[in-house]
């Protein structure tokens, strides 16, 4: 006799999606999603409150962990971290924004695959180092950059960090999603699996993600070269006519 699986608890995921789309308070959205999931799973009210309370106690130090690096990064930026990064990358004549980001993508994926997910990130790596270095490499070739080009480089630097982390951590054997799939298949479906085998199946996806995003970064170099060369030529022509 087949066991009927209750899919109604997944409504909590839909609640999170709708709440984030409406830009509601994230804490309120998560609490509502937790209640929806618990009630849909026919959990007693006391158990739902217990789960919410234990989750709060487990993560109560998370805010300190997230906020502590911010003043440190701020002090480093105030004392010239971004300027030093731009000056250093300008010394490498063959460096381009695309090549720099490809190297970072490779390092980010490899370190995330080893479980070192905290070595990168937007506040501690992209904003103070990676984005300024991409801008410095481009300025070294084409001079002063228009604001829209700077924003495009910053967006691509942030996207590169996201891609490297997202697809790299799927290869880490102790990643939460891999452990969840292992437990779900073994306990609910009776399928015998090994976390290492599940993680190994993330390798083709991680490789494809690296190749596809590296191709995008190469195209970024070509588009910037064409766009900025045209802008510089137009500026020189206008200056000559004066």
pLDDT value of residue 150: 92
Tell me, yes or no, whether 12 and 96 share the same domain.
no
Tell me, yes or no, whether 18 and 111 share the same domain.
no
Dihedral sign for Cα 129, 75, 111, 208, please: negative
Domain end point (choices 60, 77, 102): 60
65 versus 168: which is more confidently predicted? 168
Confidence of residue 73 (pLDDT cuts 50, 70, 90): low
Tell me, yes or no, whether 127 and 211 share the same domain.
yes
What's the pLDDT tens digit per position in 177-230?
Answer: 677 676 777 766 677 777 777 778 888 999 999 999 999 999 999 999 998 888
Tally of domains in the chain: 2
Tell me, yes or no, whether 107 and 217 share the same domain.
yes
Tell me, yes or no, whether 162 and 186 share the same domain.
yes
Tell me, yes or no, whether 13 and 76 share the same domain.
no
Tell me, yes or no, whether 180 and 197 share the same domain.
yes
pLDDT value of residue 64: 53
Domain extent at residue 43: 1-60
Q: Is 179 helix (H, G, I), strand (E, B) or coil?
A: helix
The C-alpha atoms of residue 211 and residue 205 are separated, in whole angstroms, by: 10
Domain end point (choices 34, 60, 86): 60
Domain end point (choices 60, 85, 101): 60
- If one counts every other C-beta atom within 10 angstroms of the C-beta of residue 55, the result is 12
Confidence of residue 140 (pLDDT cuts 50, 70, 90): confident
Tell me, yes or no, whether 113 and 130 share the same domain.
yes
- Range 136-158 average pLDDT: 90
Helix 26-40 and helix 11-21, axial crossing angle in degrees, nearest 10: 160
Confidence of residue 1 (pLDDT cuts 50, 70, 90): very low
Tell me, yes or no, whether 98 and 188 share the same domain.
yes
What's the pLDDT tens digit per position in 25-35?
Answer: 777 888 888 88
Instruction: Name the H helices within 97-201.
Output: 97-113, 131-142, 147-168, 176-183, 195-200
Is the confidence at residue 145, as pLDDT, over 70? yes
Concatenated DSSP letters of 97-108: HHHHHHHHHHHH
pLDDT value of residue 215: 97
- The rounded mean pLDDT for the chain is 81
pLDDT value of residue 34: 85
Tell me, yes or no, whether 142 and 85 share the same domain.
yes
Tell me, yes or no, whether 114 and 83 share the same domain.
yes
């Amino acid at each position: 006799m087949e066991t009927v699986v209750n899919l109604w608890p997944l409504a909590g995921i839909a609640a999170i999606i709708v709440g984030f789309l409406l830009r509601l308070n994230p804490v309120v959205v998560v609490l509502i999603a937790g209640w929806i999931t618990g009630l849909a799973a026919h959990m007693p009210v006391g158990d739902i409150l217990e789960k919410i309370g234990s989750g709060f106690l487990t993560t109560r130090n998370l805010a300190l962990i997230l906020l502590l690096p911010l003043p440190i990064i701020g002090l480093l930026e105030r004392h010239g971290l971004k300027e030093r990064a731009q000056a250093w990358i300008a010394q490498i004549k063959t460096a381009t924004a695309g090549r720099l980001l490809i190297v970072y993508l490779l390092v980010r994926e490899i370190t995330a695959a080893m479980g070192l997910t905290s070595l990168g990130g937007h506040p501690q790596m992209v904003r103070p180092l990676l984005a300024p270095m991409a801008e410095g490499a481009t300025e070294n070739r084409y001079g002063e950059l228009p604001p829209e080009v700077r924003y495009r480089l910053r967006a691509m630097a942030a996207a590169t960090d996201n891609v490297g982390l997202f697809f790299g951590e799927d290869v880490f054997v102790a990643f939460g999603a891999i452990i969840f799939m292992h437990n779900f298949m073994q306990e609910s479906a009776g399928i015998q699996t090994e976390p290492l085998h599940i993680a190994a199946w993330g390798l083709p996806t991680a490789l494809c993600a690296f190749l596809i995003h590296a191709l995008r970064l190469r195209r970024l170099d070509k588009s910037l070269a064409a766009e900025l060369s045209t802008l510089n030529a137009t500026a020189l022509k206008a200056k000559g006519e004066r």
